[in-house]
Amino acid sequence: MRNVRVVAVLAAGLLVACGSSTTSTTTTGTVTVHVNATGTSVDTAFTVTVDGSYTYPITTGADQTFQVDELAHSIELTDVASNCEVTSTNPQVIQITAGTETTLTFDVSCDTNGDVAITIATTGDNPDDQYLLDFNSGFHTVPVGPRQTLTLSLPVGPYSIELTGVASNCAVQGANPVSVDVVEDSTATARFDIVCTAP
């Protein structure tokens, strides 16, 4: 009878030990990111940036899956081409639950690009040292020097380009703003002649 009791106690202990080994310790969840890009001249390669630190490459139409801790995370689509725009919320903030999978989709819209070459030519006394080019009333504003040719890549379409920030002793000769049409695989041109006099 004693032998029987000993065996029963050992068997019970073995069952407890086996049961405790199956306790789950999962503290991460899975995130799957999908990019849906539409339009012309579509960008095909992007980067998924997690919490501003960790990056994963992703291509249009393909999924990128990775593990993250059971916390709130900021997921951002980066390295987007200049002719493309993320139309969905970016970044997206998600709360991760351990052992679950979260799927995010980023929608991207792309336009066809063309080039525009803008020449700035300043002459006269005490010339200005910098101007601003304003595209379509603020769509794209860039600083420019008094004597340079600047080439920009922009989505195709009509533009009104205005030279601003001109000093009081200087004046633009001719039209300002000027109108140009940016066309795919072509370079439109615009020119601003500025004459300055001693103040």
CATH number at residue 33: 2.60.40.10
What is the number of domains present in the chain? 2
Residues 145-166: tens digit of each pLDDT: 889 999 998 888 899 999 999 9
Average pLDDT over residues 117-140: 89
Say yes or no: 128 and 97 in one domain: no
- Looking at residue 17, what is its pLDDT? 38
Tell me which DSSP letter residue 130 carries.
Answer: -
- Looking at residue 16, what is its pLDDT? 37
Output the average pLDDT for the chain: 85
Closest CA to 49 of 27, 28, 80, 26: 80
Domain boundary among 55, 78, 110: 110
Say yes or no: 121 and 94 in one domain: no
Residues 176-197: tens digit of each pLDDT: 999 999 988 789 999 999 999 9
Say yes or no: 77 and 122 in one domain: no
Residue 158 falls inside a structural domain: yes
Residues 25-63: tens digit of each pLDDT: 779 999 999 999 988 778 889 999 999 999 999 999 889
Say yes or no: 119 and 180 in one domain: yes
Residue 16 falls inside a structural domain: no
pTM attached to this predicted model: 0.53
Say yes or no: 95 and 141 in one domain: no
SS (H, E, C) 7-58: HHHHHHHHHHHHHHCCCCCCCEEEEEEEEEEEECCCCCEEEEEECCCEEEEE
Residue 92: pLDDT band (50, 70, 90) is: very high
Say yes or no: 105 and 136 in one domain: no
Domain boundary among 55, 89, 110: 110
Q: Is 89 a residue whose pLDDT tops 80?
A: yes
Q: Is 8 a residue whose pLDDT tops 90?
A: no
Say yes or no: 39 and 84 in one domain: yes
Percent of the chain whose pLDDT exceeds 70: 88
**Domain hosting residue 176, numbered range:** 113-196
